Amino acid sequence: MRPVRGVLLAVAVALPAAATPALAGDGPSARPGPSTAASTQVAPPWDFESGASAPVLDPAEVVRESLYVTAPVDSDHDGRDDEVYVEVVRPEVTETGLQVPVVYFASPYFSGGNPMEFHDVDVELHVPESANAGERAAEVSAVRTTEAADNEVARPAIRSAYEDFLLARGYAVVYAESLGTGLSTGCPTTGGANETAGARSVVDWLNGRASARDESGAVIEAGWTTGRVGMMGVSYNGTLPNAVAATGVEGLEAIVPIGAISNWYDYYRADGAVVAPGGYQGEDADVLATYVHTRSDRDVCAPVIDALTEAQDRVTGDYNEFWDERNYLNNVDRVHAAVLAVHGLDDWNVKTRQVAQWYEALAQHDVPRSIWLHQAGHVDPLSIRREEWLETLNRWFTRYLHNVDNGVEDEPRATLQREDGSWAREADWPAQTASDAALWPWPGGGSEGELDPRNAVPGSPTVERFADDATRSAQSLVDAPSSGNRLAYYTSPATQDVRLSGTPRVDFAVSFTRPAANLSALLIDRAPDGSTKIVTRGWTDPQNREADDSTSAIVPGETYQVSLSMQPHDYVLPEGHELGLVVLSSDREYTLRPAPGAGLAVELGRTRLVLPTVGGSSTLAEAFGR
């Protein structure tokens, strides 16, 4: 999630106990009243007649403040609590007693980034001892703009594309630099507990539970706010709202995570496989931390970032304590903030699993929620559907920050953009009429076998073989009329549109000639003219077939049941198109790339493609019956 480039670099480290504090202020507490300077209450000028806040204030008439909020963590180990650099932009009328809610942007990107060195991905895969024996511009919702005063160039102020829109509608806008970045102290750890503590401390300050100072050391209070806070942002800037919401902090009433992470493990790993964000092969948690580490005295954090490299474990790819600290799903039961989640169905940086699993977990805990899914990639919806998006955002914040009962919680939860650019509102997502339905591969995968909805290959085991070659791209293997480096299976042309909504998976019976190999699968849409599109894809390490936190040896020649989940999707296969399954080992753009030659053998009778299909098995039978 780097700014200016469209990938989300993430860095996490196993921190000493001092860096994983118990966060203060978990319970509700009374907010202090307005400061002395704002002691005279005034009637709010808000206009909510349409169910959304109307622009009633001049966004140019504001007070700008810079300050440092104390965070309850010492992640740079200098013996002092870390401080979060904050810039406040609030309506000028707050000086005369009006209290306003806050929209808060937290980011590690406000001060830019550093050069990065990526990990080598042309490496051999890990073999356990037992086996041996046998863009970023789209991600940054706020940037610095240079302002001059008295013929001197001031430190650039942080600005957001949403700032004027929000100020005019009665919100203060607050920006904070993540720990270890810009003017904040502490160290960046790519989603670690210290970063969450730093971002959360600003919500605590806005509610009178944390202290802040200005440059001179004078105490700064936030008596100008109601204490009702919303957080939003894209990519890393959208991940921090998820992290803070998962602490259950009082005062955080709503979040809008856009292209955001819910579990950092799933950003850099896939069921034990080391997997890169799309377009950024070799990126990992330590690389991202290095990129965002922009505080001026960076030597102090070198040991912390070095620890990330070891703790992230690019050798086995196993889930461990390091990743568990960065898994916000663990604490979704603490979330009370209303969540408006936004994601691109073509986002291969922060992949769709991140929003799908977060949204599902929120549903299980009955958290107020809504979801926007569009056809683009890792972008802010401002660039997709500006006016409708701003109206949606306005109504969301009006309901939960201005606390106006406008009924958004009773509306359909899902807004989806279809492949033709049209938009639809649905009760929820995935589609409530979707259920798992299977297709079975039939012989011929070296060139092209059939995908059949009726049954598996009968009789004695039918095995098809191929060999890994990471020098070949996935698309080139899809388009090859035949290949010894993949297996391909296609349905007959669909006799009707087929909608998939949810998470496809492949249940394999597979053996290997080597004790380590990648396993990847692609879901393909092939048009009548023969052109192909990779709809979604997935990866797994067969050594993690039993659990993502446990490596189990592979014995060459032995057949294993391995389940591989693809990235969730919502996709309509048009009538006349064919649906395809392409199986390969290494996926050049995403996985580690060992030397070619590992052999894989798939037993067709015990292998199936399972699709979340609207209408279920009957739809597949009607569309693809032969």
Place of tokens 């932009």: 89
Radius of gyration of the chain (CA): 26
Secondary structure (3-state) at 415: strand
Residue pair 519/511 in contact by the 8 Å Cβ criterion: no
| The amino acid at 350 | V
Dihedral (CA of 319, 320, 323, 325) sign: positive
SS (H, E, C) 170-196: CCEEEEEECCCCCCCCCCCCCCCHHHH
CB 230 within 8 A of CB 101: yes
Angular region, 497: left φ>0, alpha ψ -120 to 50, beta rest: beta
Reference 212, options 30, 92, 109, 88; nearest CA is: 88
Instruction: Give the H or E element holding residue 302.
Output: helix 302-311
**Cα separation values, 226 from 94, 253, 394, 519, Å:** 11, 12, 18, 53
Residue 167, SS3 per DSSP: helix
Query: Cα–Cα distance between 509 and 560 in angstroms, integer?
Result: 5
Instruction: Enumerate the active-site residues.
Output: 235, 347, 378
Listed in sequence order, the residues at least 6 apart from 94 whose beta carbon sits closer than 8 Å to its beta carbon are: 38, 63, 100, 172, 224, 225
Identify the H or E element spanning 309.
helix 302-311
Q: Are residues 494 and 577 in contact, defined by beta-carbon separation less than 8 angstroms?
A: yes
